[in-house]
Amino acid sequence: MKLFFYIVYPIFFFAMGCGIYVAYTNADTLVDSNYYENSTHYFQTKESNIHQGSCTVTAGQRTVTLNIEPKPVKHMKELTFSVTVTSCDKLPETLLLDLSMPGMQMGKNQVTLVKKSGCLYEGKGIIVRCMSGRTLWQATVLSDTLNNPAFVFNVRE
């Protein structure tokens, strides 16, 4: 009987050791290394009230502010999108603003924002009316330097 435990115990601990080893080596694929960064980004993309004023998100040391005129922001109307970045050093003369619907595949809709003065970028575009009746849209500044800041807002009738 004693001999039986002498054999079973090493096998048991070996199996446990293997389990811990596998858990450690797989840990990186299960949990994002920038988990905290991603979660803060999530809170940044909560809905903003674009109808009252501009919306600001922070991107590292910079802040990115989106404004859409005229207000309230409506579908099928020519809109002026302005993005102000502080500070805007090392940024190109144009930025792309991607208009999409969260969780929905819409046609590609991108507005080219041209640097007007200082750190202000401006461009014109149209937000189409969605067949589903949903009005939640997301405007994303496509810039790796800025960590692709996104603004989520509801478009009015």
Name the residues that contact Cu ion, by CB under 5 A. Answer: 101, 104, 106, 130
96 or 106: CB nearest Cu ion: 106
115 or 134: CB nearest Cu ion: 134
Rounded to a whole number of angstroms, the minimum distance from the CB of residue 129 to Cu ion is 9
Separation CA 108–CA 150 (nearest Å): 16
Cβ(111)–Cβ(124) below 8 Å = yes
Cβ(74)–Cβ(157) below 8 Å = yes
Cβ(148)–Cβ(140) below 8 Å = yes
What is the number of the residue whose Cβ is closest to Cu ion? 130
Stated as kind and residue range, the H or E segment containing 56 is strand 55-59
Rounded to a whole number of angstroms, the minimum distance from the CB of residue 128 to Cu ion is 8
34 or 105: CB nearest Cu ion: 105
Rounded to a whole number of angstroms, the minimum distance from the CB of residue 101 to Cu ion is 4
